[in-house]
């Protein structure tokens, strides 16, 4: 009798373990959108930083620490972006996917090198303030704006999840195959849609779009500020206005996270069509199709730039 009771108890315990959901937590929303594509039907990934908060200056709260503590898998870009997360993870044995450490990931610098033919406006003191090339070595963290990178991130997640949750390994693999096909279709569709923009003269408020631009052979003519975190000074403002006068632009693309008051001050009364673009999915609800929607919305912002010139 006792042996029967123990056997039943063990069976119930194993069933409970098998049914327990693996908790996936991502640092930022774009990674949550990718995670949702591969966990569809199994669990819903959580995100640490609300979509309307800057990942540059995020301050952890007790709820953030609790979310990290309960995560079976935590997905983050890396210490280059989420500096506030690096020390916390070093103290824990949580399984992680560190995106910037993935082999084969396409990574671009936030600044420019000798092969770049676009200008960043960083006025210096003296008579030569204005157009200059800026040599930069910091990493541009917007890695998710390239569909090849998104697939690589999804593959890394599925590899970890299949080991953590072998009961659902088949579902993760099926979701990954479906996501891969969606990305192929998305890439082909956007390449055709964006081809007419390859000769469009446009500016970007700051260089947040280069992963998307490079994948789809787009190229901006001017970058207005080196970083959206910096408040441009008077010399910088005047240099931007002169540049617009000298080089007529179809539009300026600005991320929805940019401070409208700063952009207004920088442009003054210059007649420039302003197009807002969402690189992080602020307005999206996370779901299995949300990453595709993010990229389609970004493509539509670029297409509105072309329409504004007609």
Tell me which residue of 226, 197, 216, 215 sits closest to 112, measured CA to CA.
Answer: 226
Query: How would you write 54-99 as a 3-class SS string?
Result: CCCCCCCCHHHHHHHHHCCEEEECCCCCCHHHHHHHHCCCCEEEEH
pLDDT, tens digit (0-9, with 9 covering 90-100), for 242-292: 888 888 888 999 988 888 888 888 888 878 899 999 999 988 999 999 999
Across 80-108, average pLDDT: 90
**Residue 133 pLDDT grade (very low, low, confident, very high; cuts 50, 70, 90):** very low
Q: Return the domain boundaries, the chain.
A: 12-101+110-307
- Asked if residue 117 has pLDDT above 50, the reply is no
Strand order from edge to edge, sheet including 95-98: 46-47, 24-26, 73-76, 95-98
Q: CATH number of 12-101+110-307: 3.40.50.1980, 3.30.70.870, 3.40.718.10, 3.40.50.300?
A: 3.40.50.1980
- Look at strands 222-223 and 202-204 and give their pairing: parallel
Q: Measure Cα distances from 223 to 56, 75, 128, 309 in Å.
A: 20, 31, 18, 19
Place of tokens 């069933």: 15
């Amino acid at each position: 009798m006792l042996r029967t009771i123990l056997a039943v108890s063990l069976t119930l315990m194993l069933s409970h373990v098998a049914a327990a959901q693996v908790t996936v937590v991502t640092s930022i929303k774009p990674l949550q959108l990718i995670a949702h594509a591969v966990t569809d039907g199994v669990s819903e990934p959580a995100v640490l930083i609300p979509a309307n908060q800057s990942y540059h200056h995020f301050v952890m709260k007790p709820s953030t620490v609790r979310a990290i503590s309960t995560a079976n898998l935590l997905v983050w870009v890396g210490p280059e972006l989420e500096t506030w997360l690096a020390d916390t993870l070093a103290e824990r044995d949580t399984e992680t996917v560190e995106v910037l450490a993935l082999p084969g990931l396409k990574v671009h610098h936030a600044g420019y090198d000798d092969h770049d033919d676009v200008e960043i406006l960083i006025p210096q003191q003296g008579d030569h303030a204005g157009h200059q090339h800026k040599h930069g070595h910091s990493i541009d963290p917007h890695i998710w704006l390239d569909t090849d990178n998104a697939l690589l991130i999804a593959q890394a997640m599925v590899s970890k999840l299949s080991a953590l949750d072998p009961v659902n390994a088949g579902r993760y693999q099926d979701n990954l195959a479906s996501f891969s096909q969606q990305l192929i279709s998305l890439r082909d569709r956007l390449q055709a849609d964006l081809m007419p923009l390859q000769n469009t003269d446009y500016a970007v408020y700051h260089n947040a779009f280069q992963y998307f631009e490079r994948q789809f052979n787009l190229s901006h003519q001017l970058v207005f500020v080196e970083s959206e975190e910096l408040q441009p000074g008077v010399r910088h403002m005047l240099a931007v206005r002169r540049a617009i006068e000298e080089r007529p632009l179809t539009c300026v693309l600005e991320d929805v996270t940019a401070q409208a008051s700063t952009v207004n001050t920088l442009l003054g009364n210059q007649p420039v069509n302003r197009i807002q673009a969402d690189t992080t999915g602020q307005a999206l609800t996370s779901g299995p199709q949300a990453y595709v929607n993010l990229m389609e919305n970004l493509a539509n912002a670029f297409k509105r730039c072309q329409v504004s010139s007609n």
